[in-house]
Amino acid sequence: MLSNPTRMRSMKEEAMRLPALTVLPMLLCLTSVPTLAQIKVGIDLSTTGPAAAIGITSKNAILLWPKEIAGKKIEYIILDDASDPGNAVRNARKLISEEKVDILIGPNTTPSALALLDVIAEGETPMLSLAASAAIVEPMDAKRAWAFKMPQNDTHMTTILTQHMADHGVKTAAFIGFADAYGESWWREFSRLAELRKIRVVANERYARTDTSVTGQILKIISAHPDAVLIAGSATPAVLPQKTLVERGYKGQIYQTHGIASLEFLKVGGKDVENTLFPTGPAVVAKQLPAANPVKKAAMNFTRRYEAAYGADTVTQFAADAWGAYLLMANALPDALRVAQPGTRQFRAALRTALENTKNLTVPQGVINMGAADHVGLDQRSRVMGKIQGNRFTYSYGG
């Protein structure tokens, strides 16, 4: 049998001996032989602005992604939204409409992810969000059918956090969180679970990610004399309320959310964030997890790979979420490729369906079992309690 190049040359030579009206269609057919399309992955991250500490570590993990998955070459197109939802929308429209990406990874922040729901639905392009709020994927509707989320739902994190409070004698607590969807989501879950665990919430305050002072809010909190304070912020803006609490002499226990697990938080917070308690994904404290933890192996595999590139003790919640996005995408691509080729509407739809049908996929942050009504798929194996000790994230409780 002739090889493809030899066969094509033979056909062309034969065509030269045929009448012109026969030659033209044959040559058109030869020049339109389809090539195997590569997969295009659009990525929107916050590598500058208030959420940069999150976006930079996400990007670090993404730079370790393989350039070929399921036998297909992958093209990664990374754009920075500067922590601004408007920029995220513009980036997503460019990636979907102009670059014709097959899937969108990101963004890092909840406001930006919520702003993209209309864009991904219009473009019929699946999105693997790296932002945390359950509102990105709940309640499920036509728009959210295209949205998937890597970080754990606030409900999982709040469950273990309030359990820790109850187990350690916290009877009263105060709350201060971002004045946006992230803070609102945490308030909704925390206030509900605190009531169930007989913890009385004595203050509820908010602040903007870009604020430079929260003195008024902190004075109100201190005057309520809570046993503990929960700060519902992320990245370096979550440091401000804690520094102010310490400066004003607060002596109770301070809790943060999983949004703090970045090296920049430790650097900016310094001694003021020592002994902070926070729920986190297993990957952040992989080395200290109990041997029986079901995701320790996957978490350690990622930790070794990431630290080989970026140094010891550099793994963050956000880097691990980004690596989980790669594993989830790589797991779904073979099924989608059996239905259609990249660059087509049919392929994007098949990829969305494959993602939705993910079962028993272990990633550094847990075990994923998705369904039509659950586009996160993580359960209680996805979180533990951490503690900041010696300016490092350490394992404390659970798992």
First to last CA, the chain: 60
* CA–CA separation, 316 and 130 (whole Å): 13
pLDDT band for 111, please (50, 70, 90 cuts): very high
Q: What is the pLDDT of residues 182-234, one digit of tens each?
A: 999 999 999 999 999 999 999 999 999 999 999 999 999 999 999 999 999 99
Q: How far is the CA of 28 from the CAs of 33, 50, 216, 375, in angstroms? A: 9, 54, 74, 45
CA angle, 118 then 122 then 128, to 5°:
65
CATH number at 154-280: 3.40.50.2300
What is the percent of the chain where pLDDT is above 90? 87
Only one residue has tokens 């404390």, namely 396
Mean pLDDT along residues 62-81: 97
Domain ranges of the chain: 39-152+302-382, 154-280
* CA–CA separation, 262 and 285 (whole Å): 12
Do the strands 103-105 and 253-256 form a parallel or antiparallel pair, or are they unpaired? unpaired
CB atoms within 10 A of CB 30: 12
- The mean pLDDT of the chain is 91
User: Per-residue pLDDT for 8 more than 60?
Assistant: no
Sequence-distant (≥ 6) Cβ neighbours of residue 27 within 8 angstroms? 12, 15
Q: What is the pLDDT of residue 36?
A: 55
* CA–CA separation, 184 and 275 (whole Å): 25
* CA–CA separation, 398 and 381 (whole Å): 9
* CA–CA separation, 242 and 208 (whole Å): 14
For residue 273, give the amino acid letter.
V
User: Per-residue pLDDT for 181 more than 80?
Assistant: yes
Residue 173 pairs in a beta bridge with 201, 228
Q: What is the pLDDT of residue 18?
A: 45
Residue 230 pairs in a beta bridge with 175, 255
* CA–CA separation, 287 and 270 (whole Å): 22
Only one residue has tokens 């203050």, namely 203
CATH number at 39-152+302-382: 3.40.50.2300
User: Per-residue pLDDT for 372 more than 50?
Assistant: yes
Q: What is the pLDDT of residues 30-67, one digit of tens each?
A: 444 344 589 999 999 999 999 999 999 999 999 999 99
Residue 387: Cβ-neighbour burial (10 angstroms; 0-12, 13-18, 19+) = middle
* CA–CA separation, 258 and 197 (whole Å): 21
Same fold? 39-152+302-382, 154-280 = yes
Q: What is the pLDDT of residues 309-339, one digit of tens each?
A: 999 999 999 999 999 999 999 999 999 999 9
Do the strands 68-69 and 172-178 form a parallel or antiparallel pair, or are they unpaired? unpaired
Q: What is the pLDDT of residues 381-391, one digit of tens each?
A: 999 999 999 99
Mean pLDDT along residues 158-174: 97
